[in-house]
Structure 1
Amino acid sequence: MNTTEIERKFLVRSEDFKTEAHKYTRIIQGFLNTHPERTVRVRLKGDLGYLTVKGKSNDSGLSRYEWEREISKTEAEALLKLCEAGSIDKTRYEVQKGTHVFEIDVFHQSNEGLVVAEVELGHEEESFEKPIWLGEEVTGDKRYYNSQLAKHPFKHWS
């Protein structure tokens, strides 16, 4: 899939989303490249693997180019061994609100305690229903990019 990804990212203020979730999946991911101009991610999501390249975000932090291909679980496991130091371990919950699906990531291990929600949009000005558990917006704050959390885990923030 080649596309421009448009999403907004928020902190989550309570675990109320868990009762609204229609799906959840454990995700392990690592990064083959975390250059500021592009990231190359390997993801193991259940029994599926993915290789993803993301470009640099635009000035608002809302949009960036994304290329993704499904790969086998075996290929993903092999590529994860080649990744840069640091990885992401999280459980992703999916919650439908109106016409949008919120993906809520509950981080584990070195990012334990961090819970972030993302909503993908069709265009930057698109409105959406905000759930009661949605907190402060952190769209464009690079500290919350998974590639940065792998290098600078949440537990080590001061």
Structure 2
Amino acid sequence: MRVPAVLFGVDVLDARRVAEALDRNGAVYARHVIAADERDLTEDRALATAVGVAVKESFVKAVGGRPPGFSWHDFAACEDTEVPGPAERLLTDALPSITAATDITLTERRTYVVRGASRDAALARLGATGHDGTSVVGAARWGRHHEVIVALAVLVTSAKESS
């Protein structure tokens, strides 16, 4: 059995920092870091933006930093909330350790498409080119306690299905 290549990233964020950025820059900042469909993570605009930042920062860490040409919108939330099998198992297996280390349970989840410069960086780190139709899919889990948000991201390759 071949073990799939995966990338992990974890972020811990103080939501007050994002609230301050929103106070200074308002909707411009929110549009810069999260897409409209990501604003539905919670009814609280500041919290939804903070969650989006924490999740995307965990993806940035997984791809090895912000590559040239990076955009926050390289990571796009999917309508489909089903997490790919290998990513789901890895997220589930990592939960006890993350909870023990942070005392925060990661109860929320979402699947992400990875594109642009971040896709290319992830493929390079995963040892793939993408020329064969291979794409990168991400899955994230997050939780919060008061003002602290913890996000865990996993990136895996996904071969394009032939028709």
Query: Which TM-score applies when normalising by structure 1?
Result: 0.27
Give the structure with the higher percent helix. 2
Query: Which TM-score applies when normalising by structure 2?
Result: 0.26
